[in-house]
């Protein structure tokens, strides 16, 4: 396929981003329009309740079909809502549909354009209190990537849905993990809005692609400074306003809430270096949670939401303030600020699945950026200090502290909270960076400025998300971003616009929504620190076999350097197989590879999949002679096999 140059952009004396790309025309090799029309009782075999409470019952209903087909049916949901706070359900089923959590069929939905289903409400259902509808039904796709989710636009069920109603939602190729679809989910967060049961039927759940060929546009490359080193916590494009992420200390041996096992004063402090602007991110929040480990679970340390889940918690939070309504005990305070930040101290005890409503401190500040410190002078008294504010004292009830907090098992979580569906991670803007977290005054004190090579260099922090929580090391120079899909596109770097171009050795990558972010360390830059970047399409066309003693050398005639080391009969050696383009550049692929050898007695490994475009296989020659090893792509026979260099085995 011919490469077509699309755009160039550069930063004088610093770096140049050069995008070389082509559109991708996708054929029809894949199964089209996977559909569940619920024709038999077996069609609900894989339905799973991911979480509640309460948990709905999901049964095959032969009496109701969207097309009035007497030989078909639908799936009937019965959810026993009672009007209790926290009520919700999350259900899903798979395309393979053989059993629960069945990943037996994975669909690359890159070229699919629509997700649709039919729904009908039972008239006995109760509509939402104070709303003329049956509530927001969240819908989307479930992926094989750690059973992740792809949220599509929420469907608010109208009162007219007591008749069969068709629902259609757009699917775009830039959605994260859209090439790994394993099933479909239906979810509702009621939180007491439904005071009686919600009963509905769903039929004809399907993904569809158009009748004409799909043309996928090329990715777009961008470059920017990596920003301040520290822990960068990003909100992704999940539509939920309740999303929060952070880092937690382990419980047991971690910091103590109130120092019955330590001395006073004790202080908790976080330095916020980056925070999104107020104009576009009202309500965006940073926080410190001090959690009673006795009534929390291990999962609360990595969930990001102990503020809601756990019954006993102390909270510091600061957020961009605009049009805020706050409640402090029995008094409602309404404000209408258009700039600055608002900081609060909150706490709750014996109150799981609910927000903290006790607010002893509310204070306004010019900005969230700066160092915030909570200091306890004894077990029930303390003060909040921060940028641009006067230290403000607070008092906690003594019986609450003594009866509901256990210092020995507590943990600290530092993070950010979206608070509004608009505060997603588009353009990588909705994030906060913590450049330092400290705990002082007790035996378990620590001071972490995140200047080590990893997040756990100083302290054993736990992440709530592998992608949303990123450690930006001090030597990170640039961040290179590109949009998805970017199948077979690879980033390269050069000291001049005319090259020589080499693979970009970024320190790590992460994906938020439809954008991949690559962190480029100073050590990856050419001499003089002037660098040119580009994305280039390198399609996977063939395999490469490297014997011990050989090293990959892309853009050379043979694609490798060195000569095979002599081997010994009966001793296993590692053979490397790479997926490469026409000029031997490694290309990411996950195809399954099989090995054969000219040594009929050789001990060969089982077939295995490439990981990131490479795999290592153990091979043993069992006869003294000169032999070869050949790699063949089991997944796609259009990829050219490769035979490695002849290698001599000696007794």
pLDDT in tens, 334-350: 444 445 899 999 999 88
Q: What angle do CA 519, 523, 526 make, to 5 degrees?
A: 105
Q: What is the pLDDT of residue 309?
A: 87
| Residue 7 pLDDT class (50, 70, 90 cuts) | very low
Return d(Cα 449, Cα 230) in angstroms, integer. 7
Q: Which of 13-22, 531-540, 559-568 has the lowest mean pLDDT?
A: 13-22
pLDDT tens profile 78-116: 999 999 988 999 999 999 999 999 988 888 888 899 999
* pTM (global) more than 0.75: no
Q: Which of 131-140, 307-316, 442-451, 636-645 has the lowest mean pLDDT?
A: 442-451
Strands 462-463 and 74-79 come out as: unpaired
Over range 418-426, report the average pLDDT: 69
Domains parsed from the chain with CATH numbers: 4-23+220-224+475-537 (2.60.40), 35-214 (2.60.120.260), 236-472 (2.60.120), 542-650 (2.60.40.10)
For residue 173, what are the contacts with CB-CB under 8 A and spacing of at least 6?
110, 111, 214, 216, 484, 485
Over range 623-633, report the average pLDDT: 96
* Cβ atoms < 10 Å from Cβ of 333: 11
| Residue 550 pLDDT class (50, 70, 90 cuts) | very high
Whether residue 16 has pLDDT greater than 70: no
| Residue 406 pLDDT class (50, 70, 90 cuts) | low
Query: For 172, how many CA atoms within 13 A lie in the half-sphere containing its CB?
Result: 11
Q: Which of 454-463, 545-554, 640-649 has the lowest mean pLDDT?
A: 454-463
Residue where the block lists tokens 């007497």: 70
Percent of the chain scored above 90 by pLDDT? Answer: 51
SS3 at position 230: strand
Q: What is the pLDDT of residue 623?
A: 95
Higher local confidence (pLDDT), 361 or 352: 361
Return d(Cα 463, Cα 413) in angstroms, integer. 10
Residue where the block lists tokens 């970009």: 504
Q: What is the pLDDT of residue 610?
A: 87
Over range 399-411, report the average pLDDT: 71
SS3 at position 501: coil
Return d(Cα 295, Cα 314) in angstroms, integer. 13
Whether residue 257 has pLDDT greater than 70: no
- Partner residues linked to 158 by β-bridges: 133
Q: What angle do CA 446, 452, 454 make, to 5 degrees?
A: 100
Over range 614-642, report the average pLDDT: 94
- Partner residues linked to 535 by β-bridges: 19, 491
SS3 at position 524: helix
Whether residue 237 has pLDDT greater than 80: no
Whether residue 315 has pLDDT greater than 90: yes
pLDDT tens profile 172-228: 888 878 888 999 999 999 988 999 999 999 999 999 988 777 677 889 999 988 878
Whether residue 627 has pLDDT greater than 70: yes
> Peptide bond before 412: cis, by omega within 30 degrees of 0?
no
* 30 touches 227 (CB < 8 A): no
* 127 touches 157 (CB < 8 A): no
Structure tokens at 153: 């636009």
- Partner residues linked to 269 by β-bridges: 373, 438
DSSP 72-123: --EEEEEE---S-TT-EEEEEEESS-SSTT--S--B--TT--EEEEEEEE-T
Whether residue 76 has pLDDT greater than 90: yes
Q: What is the pLDDT of residue 585?
A: 82
Q: What is the pLDDT of residue 13?
A: 29
For residue 557, what are the contacts with CB-CB under 8 A and spacing of at least 6?
none
Instruction: Please give the distance of CA 53 from its chain centroid, rounded to a whole number.
Output: 25
Over range 506-526, report the average pLDDT: 86
Instruction: Please give the distance of CA 304 from its chain centroid, rounded to a whole number.
Output: 13
Q: Give kind and range of the element (H or E) at residue 401.
A: helix 398-404
Q: What is the pLDDT of residue 23?
A: 39
Whether residue 43 has pLDDT greater than 60: yes
DSSP 146-196: TT-EEEEEEEEEEGGGGS-EEEEEE--TTSTTGGGEEEEEEEEE-TT---S
| Residue 429 pLDDT class (50, 70, 90 cuts) | low
611 exposed, middle or buried (CB, 10 Å; 0-12, 13-18, 19+)? exposed
Higher local confidence (pLDDT), 242 or 550: 550
Q: What is the pLDDT of residue 556?
A: 85
Higher local confidence (pLDDT), 487 or 168: 168
pLDDT tens profile 270-306: 999 999 888 788 889 999 998 887 777 777 778 888 9
Q: What is the mean pLDDT of the chain?
A: 84
3-state helix, strand, coil in the chain (%, to 5): 5, 45, 50
Residue where the block lists tokens 């009202």: 282
């Amino acid at each position: 396929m011919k490469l077509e140059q699309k755009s160039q952009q550069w930063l004088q004396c610093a770096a140049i981003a050069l995008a070389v790309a082509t559109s991708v025309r996708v054929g029809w090799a894949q199964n089209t329009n996977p559909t569940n029309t619920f024709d038999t009782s077996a069609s609900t075999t894989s339905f799973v309740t991911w979480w509640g409470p309460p948990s709905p019952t999901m049964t095959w209903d032969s009496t109701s079909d969207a097309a009035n087909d007497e030989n078909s049916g639908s799936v009937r949901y019965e959810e026993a809502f009672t009007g209790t706070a926290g009520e919700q359900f999350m259900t899903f089923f798979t395309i393979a549909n053989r059993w629960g959590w069945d990943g037996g069929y994975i669909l690359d939905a890159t070229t699919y354009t629509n997700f649709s289903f039919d729904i009908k409400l039972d008239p006995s259902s109760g509509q939402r209190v104070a709303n003329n509808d049956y509530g927001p039904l969240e819908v989307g796709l479930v992926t094989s990537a750690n059973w992740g989710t792809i949220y599509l636009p929420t469907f608010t069920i109208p009162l007219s849905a007591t008749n069969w109603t068709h629902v259609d939602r757009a699917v775009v190729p830039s959605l994260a993990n859209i090439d790994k679809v394993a099933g479909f989910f239906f979810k509702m967060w009621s939180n007491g809005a439904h005071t009686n049961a919600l009963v509905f039927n769903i039929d004809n759940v399907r993904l569809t692609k158009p009748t004409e060929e799909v043309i996928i546009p090329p990715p777009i490359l961008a470059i920017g400074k990596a920003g301040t080193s520290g822990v960068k916590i990003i909100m992704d494009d999940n539509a939920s306003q309740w999303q929060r992420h952070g880092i937690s200390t382990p419980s047991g041996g971690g910091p103590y809430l109130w120092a019955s096992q330590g001395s006073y004063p004790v202080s908790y402090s976080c330095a916020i270096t980056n925070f999104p602007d107020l104009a576009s991110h009202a309500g965006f929040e940073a926080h410190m949670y001090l959690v009673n480990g006795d009534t929390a679970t291990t999962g609360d340390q990595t969930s990001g939401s102990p503020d809601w889940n756990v019954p006993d918690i102390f909270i510091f939070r600061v957020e961009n303030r605009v049009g805020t309504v706050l409640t402090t005990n029995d008094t409602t305070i309404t404000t209408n600020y258009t700039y600055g930040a608002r900081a609060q101290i909150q706490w709750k005890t014996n109150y799981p699945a609910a927000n903290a409503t006790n607010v002893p401190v509310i204070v306004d500040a010019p900005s969230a950026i700066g160092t915030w410190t909570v200091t306890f002078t004894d077990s029930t008294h303390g003060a909040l200090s921060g940028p641009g504010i006067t230290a403000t004292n607070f008092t906690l009830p003594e019986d609450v502290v003594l009866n509901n907090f256990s210092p020995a098992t507590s943990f600290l979580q530092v993070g950010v909270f979206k608070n509004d569906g608009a505060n997603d991670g588009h353009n990588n803007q909705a994030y906060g960076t913590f450049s330092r977290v400290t705990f002082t005054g007790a035996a378990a004190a620590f001071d972490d400025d995140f200047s080590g090579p990893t997040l756990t260099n100083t302290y054993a922090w736990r992440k709530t998300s592998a992608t949303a929580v990123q450690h930006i090391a001090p030597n990170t120079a640039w961040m290179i971003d590109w949009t998805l899909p970017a199948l077979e596109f690879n980033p390269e770097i050069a000291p001049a616009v005319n090259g020589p171009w080499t693979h970009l050795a970024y320190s790590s990558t992460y994906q938020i929504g439809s954008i991949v972010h690559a962190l480029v360390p100073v050590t990856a830059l050419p001499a003089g620190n002037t660098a040119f970047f580009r994305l280039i399409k390198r399609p996977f066309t063939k395999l490469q076999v490297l014997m011990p003693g050989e090293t990959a050398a892309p853009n050379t005639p043979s694609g490798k350097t060195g000569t095979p080391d002599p081997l010994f009969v009966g001793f296993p050696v590692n053979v490397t197989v790479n997926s490469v383009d026409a000029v031997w550049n490694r290309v990411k692929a996950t195809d399954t590879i099989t090995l054969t050898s000219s040594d009929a007695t050789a001990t060969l490994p089982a077939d295995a999949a490439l990981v990131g475009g490479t795999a290592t296989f153990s091979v043993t020659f069992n006869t003294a002679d000169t032999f070869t090893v050949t790699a063949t792509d089991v997944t796609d026979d259009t990829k050219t096999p490769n035979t490695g260099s002849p290698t001599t085995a000696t007794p």
